[in-house]
Amino acid sequence: MAHAPILVPEVAGERAEAARDCCQSMRQAAASLAGFAPQSVVLISPHSPRRRGAFGVWGGERLSGSLAQFNAPSARVRLPNDVPLAEAIAAEARKGGLATWEIDHESLDHGATVPLWFLAEAGWSGPTVVLGLNYPDEGGLTQLGEAITAAARGCQRRIALVASGDMSHRLKPNAPAGFHPRAHQFDEAFIQVIREGDYHRLGKLDADLREIAAEDAVDSTWVAAAAVEWQATGHRVLHYEGPFGVGYGVAILFADASGACAARPTQAAVAAKHEGEILPEVARRSMEAALNGGAESPPPPTNAYLRSRNAVFVTLHERGGKLRGCAGTILPYYPDVVTETWHSARLAAFRDSRFNPVEARELPKLHIDVSVLHSMEKIDSASQLNPAQYGVIVSTGDGRRGLLLPALPDITTVEQQMYYARRKALIGPDEPVHLQRFQVDYFSEESK
């Protein structure tokens, strides 16, 4: 995510229109992150205070930041610091030979505040960790990413990572660092690396070109890429532009949305919408193309329903009904339900951590269900639920969130629905929660 304060509407004022598309992409990225319902967010900021030879870890019980110095005092964030996770990251870093220090400044830097402002606008209010970098060329970026992963696993946290950074600062004569005619070449090279998902090439970007560009995006991106073990599943460049002489890029580096389903819906719950009946076939074609190693793209949507933008879950079952994989997102990630189904199918087949990846020999024997989620509706109490009709999302103020689809065969009462939704998010039975309900269109593959 970019971190220029001018991307925040209150700072931009009359100049907001010039960066409107980038602002929208920041909102899209924030909504996607919130939709994955992480238990904690870890953000790497290149503008946090630095100390030679050490990486910074923000301390304190709360993380607070404001854009008051940019004439926008009401643009502020205040989030709980995930102190146990922060301490675990520091401990794992030390195990890997890295030095760390606690940053105890009162206010977050704009490299952290701007992305977190967009996350807060999208509904994020949960535990957060902010990390600072060491000095350039001191190394240790891969080890810091590995320390984040080890700490998250040790704390049993499902985390989302944000790499904060802007690209070239020298694209135009009035740019903050002046103008250089080659600066745009860095942005083109960096965006190409992200577009291709070949993150190891970050370390091979021309050092002189990086210096010319006066960029601060590579190191934080490197840490995030190392933390997800250089995987690029679901990667996508959302937007790039440089309206004020600085390159702003917004991208999804990696997305793993496995796990929000439990069982195959009952046949009575299968939707009769003719317009979406192609979706199970789309899911099967996607998995076949992936297994064959081809570069096939999802087919174009052919009607209004298929062109709609909704979240999608794909569920796979073996003969006899045994669950083989299920994945999806709470918020729509792609521009239409066809593309959403195409990518969710691959997550269900190859990225559901509860199962081994689906093999080619298995695919003909699998049954595919596709669930298209309707918009979420806030409700005041569980009395407004009906597990046969509505799915439920339960969430807490610290960011824990559990989802359960409707019409699951073993869930017949509201009490059962609430119990399993809470359990999925590790929410205690007596903890206060916010409730949302939603409906689903089910499309089931015809039996062969």
The domain segmentation of the chain, as residue ranges, is 5-252, 267-444
Q: What pLDDT was estimated at residue 106?
A: 82
Q: What is the pLDDT of residues 230-261, one digit of tens each?
A: 988 888 898 999 999 999 999 999 986 444 44
Sheet holding 377-379, edge to edge: 377-379, 434-438, 391-395, 401-404
Class of domain 5-252: alpha beta
Decide which of 250 and 387 is more confident: 250
Q: What is the CA radius of gyration of the chain?
A: 22
For range 262-280, the mean pLDDT: 57
Cβ-proximal residues to 25 (8 Å cutoff; 6+ apart), any chain: 238, 239, 250
**What integer best gives the mean pLDDT of the chain?**
90
Q: What is the pLDDT of residues 20-71, one digit of tens each?
A: 889 989 998 888 888 777 889 999 999 999 999 999 999 999 999 999 999 9
Whether the per-residue pLDDT at 434 is higher than 60: the answer is yes
H or E segment to which residue 390 belongs: none
Half-sphere exposure of residue 270: CA atoms within 13 angstroms, side-chain side: 17
For residue 120, which amino acid is it? A
Q: What percent of the chain has pLDDT over 90?
A: 66
Q: What is the pLDDT of residues 302-328, one digit of tens each?
A: 888 898 888 999 999 998 778 899 888
User: Structure tokens of 318?
Assistant: 């073996």
CATH architecture of the domain 267-444 equals 2-Layer Sandwich (3.30)
Residues 199 and 180: their CA atoms lie apart, in Å, by 26
Whether the per-residue pLDDT at 330 is higher than 80: the answer is yes
Q: What pLDDT was estimated at residue 338?
A: 94
189-228: string of b/e by CB count within 10 Å (b at 16+)?
Answer: bbbebbeebebeebeebeeebbebbbbbbbbbbbbbbbbb
Q: What pLDDT was estimated at residue 353?
A: 79
Q: What pLDDT was estimated at residue 99?
A: 97
- Helices and strands counted in the chain (H then E): 12, 17
Contact between residue 179 and residue 170 where contact means Cβ atoms under 8 Å apart: yes
Bridge partner list, 284: none
0.75 exceeded by pTM: no
For range 341-358, the mean pLDDT: 91
Whether the per-residue pLDDT at 159 is higher than 50: the answer is yes
Q: What pLDDT was estimated at residue 115?
A: 98
Q: What pLDDT was estimated at residue 447?
A: 59
Whether the per-residue pLDDT at 266 is higher than 80: the answer is no
Q: What pLDDT was estimated at residue 264?
A: 46
- Of 217-226, 328-337, 392-401, give the range with the top mean pLDDT: 217-226
Decide which of 212 and 424 is more confident: 212
Cβ-proximal residues to 198 (8 Å cutoff; 6+ apart), any chain: 232
Q: What pLDDT was estimated at residue 219?
A: 98
Q: What is the pLDDT of residues 355-369, one digit of tens each?
A: 999 999 999 999 999
**Residue 81, helix vs strand vs coil:** strand
In the DSSP assignment, the letter for residue 445 is P
Q: What pLDDT was estimated at residue 448?
A: 52
Contact between residue 52 and residue 119 where contact means Cβ atoms under 8 Å apart: no
Q: What is the pLDDT of residues 401-426, one digit of tens each?
A: 888 888 887 788 999 999 999 988 88
Whether the per-residue pLDDT at 123 is higher than 60: the answer is yes
Decide which of 272 and 148 is more confident: 148
Q: How many residues are given for the chain?
A: 448
Confidence at 176, pLDDT banded by 50, 70, 90: confident
Q: What pLDDT was estimated at residue 45?
A: 98
Q: What's the CA angle centered on 196, arms 194 and 198, to 5 degrees?
A: 75
Q: What pLDDT was estimated at residue 283?
A: 96
